[in-house]
A and B are shown apart, each in its own frame.
Chain A
Amino acid sequence: MVSGLFPVVLNGAATARRGQILVGPVDLTLNGGGVCVVIGPNGSGKTSLLRMMHGAARLTHGSIDWACPTPQARRAQAFVFQRPVMLRRTVRENLAYPLRIRGARRREALKTAGDWAERVGLGGMLDRQAPVLSGGEQQKLALARALIIEPELLFLDEPCASLDGRAMREIEEILVTAREHGTRLILSTHDMGQARRMADEVAFLLHGKVHEFGPAAEFFTRPGTPQARAFINGEIVE
């Protein structure tokens, strides 16, 4: 996949709602490829950072510069939410929806939807109504629906929160495959095991700011700050 998005440069980027800064100011440069895991205590701004980068939360300060024009950049991204949003339609129609939005023919969109359902293990459920699937199935569907447009960059906001171990493994397998195909992943999690398994880079957030950023191996073996060390060790960080 040709990378037209990266590098992306965040320069003093921040998002605020009703005067309250949710995350930022953030200075960060990300290159293409691999998995960037965003960790940090609850309320440190993980979700807000992802939403701000994706453009779902309004950028109130600073700038985010993609290597291509922003509208084009947004078209090359997808987002998977912590609580999957299920359209009140069948699995097949949920999967086809992003393609239809982009102007694909119905017949082709439904065919591609079938292929993707197979890939994530939902092949037998194509005609089930999405809202009645189990939590794990819903998240797999959400993941497939995000990947179906073949994004260059996929945001995942704690995709495995409240899922059991089996569902989590299946999701991680899909993510690994996506990374191998060159999709850049930015994944927030509070599960340190998942962070260690998935991360190529780590961004450690504290109080709405990027406290530490660097290659995963280095971060986990030699964290640069006492707070990061404490967080890795499972201590309470305030």
Chain B
Amino acid sequence: MVDLWSGLVQAFWLVATLDSELVEIAMRSLRVSLSALGIASIIAMPLAALLAVKRFRWRRFVIAVLNALMGLPPVVVGLVVYVFLSRSGPLGVFGLLFTPTAMVIAQVIIVVPLIASISHQALRDLWEEYHDLLISLNVTQWQKIHTLLWDARRALLTAALAGFGRAIGEVGAIMVVGGNIDHATRVLTTAIALETGKGDFALALALGFVLIALAISVSLTIHWLSRTEREAKW
């Protein structure tokens, strides 16, 4: 309990004084996770829409795999990405290991199944609702996907926020592929792991509180920015 309290106090002072190291780490966390989120959304959402509207042989299989991959242990993702990006791995020539880009790659892989699964559920329900009308209007496959993605944007936002939460709170994979290098790849979660390792629970907790506050403010900001259509019942 003492640690918890001193953690809160320390978190307050770190934020109040805009501690330069904290700001650097927090900004890197945000940059990595938001980049991963953006890229993952571009991949996952159209994929989810396609799975909702297109009937193909492997559809059920792909959905089942996506659902299963939601529970993928990040450290496994980290290891696989590590093996690929290592200088002795197939993508070694790019020299991406232990860079923020490697962390983005790992987070994209972790977050895509989550965003795709949640999006797919929402889009499937919407497609059920819209099906007759869109078929009657002879829309093309692309128009279908575009319409569903646009009209389900609220639900997709929720999916994206879930993905962001998972990305920014993730430590297992980015520790492996980022290496937690000071001033290069250290982010909030890996810093927390480091301070825990040093037995400095108060500082670790302080960073934890900052992480939570950051996640909440991103979520609130996005909700606030999208709160334009008040009348809508969804």
Contacts and interface: CB of A to CB of B under 8 A. Distances in A.
B2 interface: no
Contacts of B130: 85, 87
A97 B234 CA distance: 20
Interface stretch (B25-33, B137-145, B164-172): B137-145
Interface string B194-234: 00000000000000000000000000000000000101111
A106 interface: no
Interface in B118-156: 126, 129-130, 132-133, 135-139, 143, 147, 151-152
B151 A87 contact: yes
Given A87-B147, A88-B234, A81 B132 contact: yes
Contacts of B232: 88, 129, 131-132
Given A56-B132, A87-B147, A88-B151, A101 B231 contact: no
A131 B154 CA distance: 15
A89 interface: yes
B233 A56 contact: no
Interface residues of B, number: 19
Residue of A74, A101, A128, A129 with highest tally of chain B CB at under 10 A: A101
Contact of B139 (A78, A81, A101, A129): A101
Interface in A88-108: 88-89, 97-98, 101
A46 interface: no
A89 B133 CA distance: 14
A85 B129 contact: yes
A219 interface: no
B140 to A, nearest CB: 8
A88 B126 CA distance: 9
Helix, strand, loop or mixed for chain A's interface?
mixed
Contacts of B138: 74-75, 101
Interface residues of A, number: 18
Contacts of A98: 137
Nearest to A94: B133
Interface in A55-103: 56, 74-75, 78-79, 81, 85, 87-89, 97-98, 101
A88 B234 CA distance: 9
Contacts of B234: 88, 131
B52 to A, nearest CB: 15
A129 B151 CA distance: 12
A70 B183 CA distance: 65
Nearest to A85: B133
Contacts of A85: 129-130, 132-133
A128 B135 contact: no
A81 B133 contact: yes
Contact of A129 (B126, B147, B233): B233
A204 B229 CA distance: 46
Contact of A79 (B136, B151, B229, B231): B136
A54 B232 CA distance: 32
B105 to A, nearest CB: 35
A99 to B, nearest CB: 10
Interface of A: 54, 56, 74-75, 78-79, 81, 85, 87-89, 97-98, 101, 128-129, 131-132
Given A87-B151, A129-B232, A132-B231, 19 more contacts: A56-B135, A56-B136, A78-B136, A79-B132, A79-B136, A81-B133, A85-B132, A85-B133, A88-B151, A88-B232, A89-B151, A97-B137, A101-B138, A101-B139, A128-B231, A129-B229, A129-B231, A131-B233, A131-B234
Interface of B: 126, 129-130, 132-133, 135-139, 143, 147, 151-152, 229, 231-234
26 contacts: A54-B136, A79-B136, A81-B133, A85-B129, A85-B130, A85-B132, A87-B133, A88-B151, A88-B152, A88-B232, A88-B234, A89-B151, A97-B147, A98-B137, A101-B137, A101-B138, A101-B139, A101-B143, A129-B229, A129-B231, A129-B233, A131-B232, A131-B233, A132-B231, A132-B232, A132-B233
Closest 10 CB pairs between A and B?
A: A85-B133, A79-B136, A88-B151, A129-B231, A129-B232, A56-B135, A101-B139, A98-B137, A101-B137, A132-B233
